[in-house]
A and B are shown apart, each in its own frame.
Chain A
């Protein structure tokens, strides 16, 4: 294994709004990458060795979206490639590129412009197995999340109310975050009295969509020092796929083994032996409210089946023992498709630098960020970050 740590030296973003008609998607990529390079003090044309872009054709509306990747992020005529996956998978590639010695500085960009997709539900359908699932009259494709939610509730004894508390906590947390267009002062009784959207969740517990582009710049320890003092360490990264989208029947419903496997790898690399104690804050996927509770358990931040009790206790509140989604989560920020995980990564980096402004968690030293690619996938990426900066 390569020696030296991997550092995050710059982050930038653009958007986090329900629509961005003033720019094309390439324009968004340029804006976020500009900001990230300025933040990192790098000249992309001279200092960046590899450019990683994260996008999926059918979200972009272009067969071979990779074609449009290089120019806006400064990667034209450079080693640039596309990962068809979550933005955090791009970070995993960057980690490997740096550890292998092939690159010293890597830029990772991910974006989503769901406002330009007029038939979003159809695109989700297109991801389902064409032989076994698509022909079934299943209505909203998010039914899969409903199945998982129901299985989770049955197994752990969590109730509908616990799911609602997640929504209340996160949407209110988002009020402090300028990147959270769906934040609101919603109350528990309002969530509980709202009709179900996808049983057992109401519309408050299912995230909306937003447009955003996020760029992060990573570097080897030695290279990082050339550019900046404000360094956040990427101590560990892990990713895993439980089953393919064509084999949903093999999935362990109500669990996310891929997240657990990813977390175990990331914790091992980061030297985290007691996550509940070592982690100061967590940014996890909550695009369906139950996912926050499931993620917390799979990330070993609460024992199996206990997450809802910790939640009830206030442990995960903004001012709690272990804040979960102080950013407001996907429920407040919206989902920019594959860029979701990278957006939360950016949040964690800001926290560890002490630059999260109104939503700064005090004494943030170590963070875990976990993403899930959403229905109908069972792929998860986990990263562990830390900093020595006094927050």
Chain B
């Protein structure tokens, strides 16, 4: 099946502003207030007000974290949706990148000239521990009786990647080291730190082969983007960041029936986005990337899914410094989820925001060394199922 992409969409679509709150373990602000803070900043950066916004897209993952059913309705006014068209999209962890993807067709269809895209997550209300909410993502009949913990499924995938590709724990831990160090330059960061591979290996062993420092934390936070049609973008800024490609794919829910070492669903989504963006050799043409990194091995997994490295090769390139900020293809210059935090939907939006700033050379200390022209971000979600991809350029 081929998705017929219209390469001659009359109006291009651009990101013209971005905003973030701090990512933290527990926020005083209510979910709506967090959304508002991020949205307001994004509008400020774009030099626009709510009057200029036509439509709102909200992304937020499990309602059970914030503790409100119909969460989109609840977040509406904090996200600027007061007497405006608003819709909430939800593909699990993939939501963060899916929000701007969905905003793309709001603008490309001609229905909206400007869209405020907001990702918000407040995990701290879940009591006694947010982890417990993940109990309810499993199939009630086949899986829940086995009383699994979310970390099990990641551990199984990580182990499979290690077995198939010959990567060792110390090789993979380098991602955590890189991202937490990158995050030291990110004012939003919750868990930035200078750690070593040894620190990762010595941290609490949760589900072998996963240790505490292999994982991103539980977080509260929000991030927002302002997306506009070409007409509006050119009036508002000298350096719009174009959304060249969007892609998304959802595999079946039966993760126990698939090869876990390679994310096929992400690969399909990436191909969809690259095709639309006219990119034929992503490993050559992409200058900087924000692959979704809730666990350290996941970044490698996604780098390969995004075709930025061959399957089973990413960990080797990582060792050579290929993905550092001063490397050939910097990944997660923001510090990623491992360094900045993981308020699920907001984290994905944060990664897109980072690329927005990178492409405008506004990332300050985090700016990557090489000149940047094309970038890609992805998010992952559900039960090893959802791949969402966005390709940007300046």
Contact = CB atoms under 8 A, between A and B. Distances in A.
A–B contact (CB under 8 angstroms): yes
Interface of A: 1-2, 45-51, 56-58, 61-64, 66-71, 75-85, 89, 92-93, 95-104, 123-124, 126-127, 129-131, 238-247, 250, 257-258, 261-262, 265, 373, 376-379
B67 A130 contact: yes
A83 B87 contact: yes
A247 B84 CA distance: 15
B88 A84 contact: yes
Nearest to B106: A96
A25 to B, nearest CB: 11
Contacts of B248: 79-81
30 contacts: A57-B62, A64-B61, A64-B90, A66-B250, A70-B252, A71-B252, A77-B250, A77-B252, A78-B1, A79-B248, A80-B249, A80-B250, A82-B89, A85-B88, A93-B102, A100-B109, A100-B110, A127-B70, A129-B74, A241-B73, A241-B76, A241-B83, A243-B77, A243-B83, A244-B73, A244-B76, A246-B74, A258-B83, A376-B73, A378-B73
B256 to A, nearest CB: 13
Residue of A64, A95, A124, A250 with most chain B CB atoms under a 10 A cut-off: A64
Contacts of B83: 240-243, 257-258, 261
Interface string B44-68: 0000000000001000011110011
A61 B136 CA distance: 8
B217 to A, nearest CB: 19
Given A77-B252, A130-B67, A83 B90 contact: yes
Interface of B: 1, 3-6, 8-9, 30, 32, 56, 61-64, 67-78, 81-92, 98, 102, 104-106, 108-111, 133-137, 140, 246-253, 264-265, 268-269, 272, 276, 381-383, 385-386
A58 to B, nearest CB: 4
A80 B247 CA distance: 10
B92 A66 contact: yes
Contacts of A66: 90-92, 250, 381-382, 386
B184 to A, nearest CB: 32
Contacts of A131: 30
B87 A89 contact: yes
B5 A127 contact: no
Contact of B250 (A76, A101, A245): A76
Contacts, number: 232
**What secondary structure prevails in chain B residues at the interface with A?**
mixed
Contacts of B82: 241-243, 250
A246 B32 contact: yes
A245 B62 contact: no
Nearest to A48: B1
A247 B71 CA distance: 13
Given A97-B105, A102-B3, A84 B71 contact: yes
Residue of A81, A99, A250 with most chain B CB atoms under a 10 A cut-off: A81
Contacts of A379: 73, 76, 86
Given A93-B102, A130-B67, A78 B249 contact: yes
A50 B77 CA distance: 29
A71 B68 contact: no
Residue of B61, B75, B252 with most chain A CB atoms under a 10 A cut-off: B252
Nearest to B133: A63
A128 B252 CA distance: 33
Given A127-B73, A243-B82, A101 B90 contact: no
Contacts of B252: 70-71, 76-77
A126 B65 CA distance: 12
Contacts of B70: 56, 58, 84, 127, 245, 373, 376-377
Residue of A48, A50, A56 with most chain B CB atoms under a 10 A cut-off: A56
Given A46-B1, A67-B382, A84 B251 contact: no
B109 A77 contact: no
Contacts of B30: 131
- CB-CB nearest 9 A-B residue pairs: A101-B6, A1-B110, A244-B76, A100-B108, A99-B109, A96-B109, A80-B250, A244-B77, A63-B136
A244 B91 contact: no
A82 B94 CA distance: 11
B136 A62 contact: yes
A94 B8 CA distance: 19
Contacts of B104: 100
Contacts of A64: 61-62, 90, 92, 137, 381-383
A248 to B, nearest CB: 11
Contact of A56 (B69, B92, B106): B69
B253 A71 contact: yes
Given A70-B250, A99-B111, A100-B9, A126 B61 contact: no
A79 B272 contact: yes
A215 to B, nearest CB: 16
Nearest to B1: A46
A92 B89 contact: no
